[in-house]
Amino acid sequence: MPEVIVGRDEDDTKKYGTTGTLFMGKHLVGTGEETHMTTPVLLDVLRPHIITISGKRGEGKCVLDSTLITLEDGSKIPIKDLEKNYKRILALDSHGKIVPAKKSHFYKRNVNRILKMKLSTGREIELTHEHPLLTQTGWRPAADLSIGSQIIVTDTNISKSNNQALLTNSIFLDTIVSVEMLEGEFEVYDISVPDYHNFVANDIIVHNSFTMGVIMEEMMKLPPHVKRNLCGIIIDTQGIYWTMKSPSEKDAAALKEWDMKPSGFNVEVYVPEGQEKIFRTAGVDFDETFSFAPSEISAEDWLGVFNLDSNEPLGILLQRSVTKLTGNYSIDDIIKSIKSSEGFGNEKLALENRFEAAKTWGIFGSSRVPPLLEPGKMTILDISLTPQNVRALLVGLASKKIFIERVEARRKEELAEIEIATIKRTPMPWIFIDEAHNFLPNDGITSATEPLNRIVKEGRQPGITLVLATQRPEKLHPDALAQTDMIISHRLTAKNDVDALKAIMQTYLLFDIGKYINELPKLKGVAIILDDNSERLYKVRIRPRQSWHAGSSPVAI
């Protein structure tokens, strides 16, 4: 049977065949227990696209509301009570040790089926079917495990000495002694832990699909004559893509089933100049630093990052102070300009304090942003340690640079075609943005909204592909969803999320999109691909990641 090529129309398929495609996984046919994998599913990279990748909130890793979460002082509270609790929780670090950690996001949703598992040591967990657990041979969805399966658990003890919490722990295998499916109405929860991407809850270990990472890996494997005309820029909001340099040995068994092997990739990782020491201390393998000059930021951008109204006194003062500066000016120059402005009284001090705080963001310095549009280069900008409003600023600045450079390059390419001349091509960029709803929201404006919206509406003409990953498609700007020519959706259960996809349903769909999503088998990596180019919908199973995925959020129960 021929391969399925998504993102490519019939004419291009006839002209190029499978040249310039990425191996995403395999086509799923059948329903329920009769579902099986068939032909390879390939993704077109010769043409620019707007791709939305969606999945369950909490990255699909949800546990029952009564699950007890261990805090750093040894106390335990139900996960449903964590939203307003600001104490640190416990997490498993890369050395297998339990350490205190901060949480950043809180998720909850309703499901109608869960699994209840009991272990030989008396531990229990109630979780969603797709929730992966850590075994000796790697991650496995809970639904794939049965009585007798062994999973890795932790044993943690906290004692007090001189008013200090002393933590001791060990990791060992525990055996599943019973599995029960419960039906009804259940409220399930998840939390995000940026530093370690896991947390300790009654003692067991999990993870998620990595579709965006699979696309990046496949781009790095393209043949030279295609690869040199493309490049990738990853806006890493979670600090999880630097590990693409290392092979995923833990998934060797899963990869073997796909006739693949673990592999690291030659990605280039950049961190903010002012945060270099933090990343080095954390052992992050990065290549260089980057920074912006304050003079690269417009008055409108400053208003956005400080959340100021342009018609209020603070906003008016900011605009006057910034617009009268020229050349390559610094934060201190902006502060001097504020001080020298006439009038405004207390507003001056308030605005000066905001710019003093901006010095601590770590994004201003002398290293500048590296060349992003380099042939075959995969650039990761790790902005995981910056506040959300500053992340939006960085995404906006990077997006503007990329758009301007590609528009200029496209103009030269078209002139060269007319004059039948040869020029050095600027590669067509693929921009990957995780948690995209935070930068291109359906309600409100961020510093990244206007630049990203411009790429959404105009970016394909100059050859820019935008890949937007989100667990909350209903929170994504409607223009982004409307302009999307390809949706890759893992199982969604929240009604608002499904409704967001229903709103852009195409006439070639025979049934409600919710029906297709609900029919997906409960296996790791399954998704539907809604492809406007071929006007088809496909059920697929995404292949495993070859490189290490630091976002594989374990839950130690």
- Using the 3D structure, point to which of 342, 361, 380 is the last residue of a domain: 361
State the pLDDT at residue 70: 79
- Residue 250 above 70 pLDDT? yes
Q: Which residue has the higher pLDDT, 497 or 142?
A: 142
Within 13 Å, how many C-alpha atoms sit on residue 365's CB side?
A: 18
Owning domain of residue 160: 59-206
Q: What is the pLDDT of residues 357-408, one digit of tens each?
A: 999 999 999 888 899 999 999 999 999 888 888 999 999 999 999 999 999 9
Q: Are residues 411 and 473 in the same domain?
A: yes
Q: Are residues 396 and 531 in the same domain?
A: yes
Q: Is residue 521 part of a domain?
A: yes
pTM: 0.75
Q: Is residue 247 part of a domain?
A: yes
Q: Are residues 494 and 394 in the same domain?
A: yes
Q: Are residues 183 and 103 in the same domain?
A: yes
Pairing of strands 150-161, 164-192: antiparallel
Q: Are residues 308 and 379 in the same domain?
A: no
* C-alpha–C-alpha distance, residues 406 and 231, integer Å: 12
State the pLDDT at residue 557: 47
Candidate ranges 115-119, 185-189, 510-514; pick with highest mean pLDDT: 115-119
> Encoding tokens for residue 336?
């001097």
> Encoding tokens for residue 480?
């982004």
- Using the 3D structure, point to which of 206, 233, 251 is the last residue of a domain: 206
Q: Is residue 554 part of a domain?
A: no
Q: Is residue 547 part of a domain?
A: no
Q: Are residues 413 and 531 in the same domain?
A: yes
Q: Is residue 555 part of a domain?
A: no
Domain count of the fold of the chain: 3
* Confidence class for position 23, pLDDT limits 50, 70, 90: very high
Q: Is residue 557 part of a domain?
A: no
Q: Are residues 354 and 405 in the same domain?
A: no
Q: Is residue 345 part of a domain?
A: yes
- Using the 3D structure, point to which of 345, 361, 377 is the last residue of a domain: 361
Phi/psi at 113 (5° precision): -145, 140
- Residue 163 above 70 pLDDT? no
Q: Over pLDDT 90: what percentage of the chain?
A: 47
- Residue 482 above 70 pLDDT? yes
In contact, 227 and 219? CB cutoff 8 Å: yes
Q: Over pLDDT 70: what percentage of the chain?
A: 82
Q: Are residues 45 and 107 in the same domain?
A: no
Task: Tell me the chain's radius of gyration from C-alpha atoms.
Answer: 25
Query: Which residues 6+ apart lie within 8 Å of 174 measured at CB?
Result: 119, 120, 121, 123, 150, 151, 152, 153, 204
State the pLDDT at residue 69: 83
> Encoding tokens for residue 30?
């059948």
Q: What is the pLDDT of residues 261-287, one digit of tens each?
A: 999 999 999 999 999 998 888 778 899
CATH number of the domain bearing residue 131: 2.170.16.10
In this structure, of 76-85, 111-120, 546-555, the range with the lowest mean pLDDT score is 546-555
Q: Is residue 556 part of a domain?
A: no
State the pLDDT at residue 156: 55
- Residue 206 above 70 pLDDT? no
- Residue 196 above 80 pLDDT? no
* Confidence class for position 554, pLDDT limits 50, 70, 90: very low
Average pLDDT score, the chain: 84
Q: Are residues 215 and 171 in the same domain?
A: no
Q: Are residues 456 and 392 in the same domain?
A: yes
Q: Are residues 168 and 244 in the same domain?
A: no
* Confidence class for position 204, pLDDT limits 50, 70, 90: very low
Among the listed residues 175, 294, 196, 190, the one whose alpha carbon sits nearest the alpha carbon of residue 243 = 196
State the pLDDT at residue 197: 58
Mean pLDDT within 5-27: 95
State the pLDDT at residue 161: 43
Q: Are residues 150 and 230 in the same domain?
A: no
- φ/ψ region of 96 (left if φ > 0, alpha if ψ in -120 to 50, else beta) reads left
How much helix, strand and coil, in percent to the nearest 5, is found in the chain?
30, 30, 40
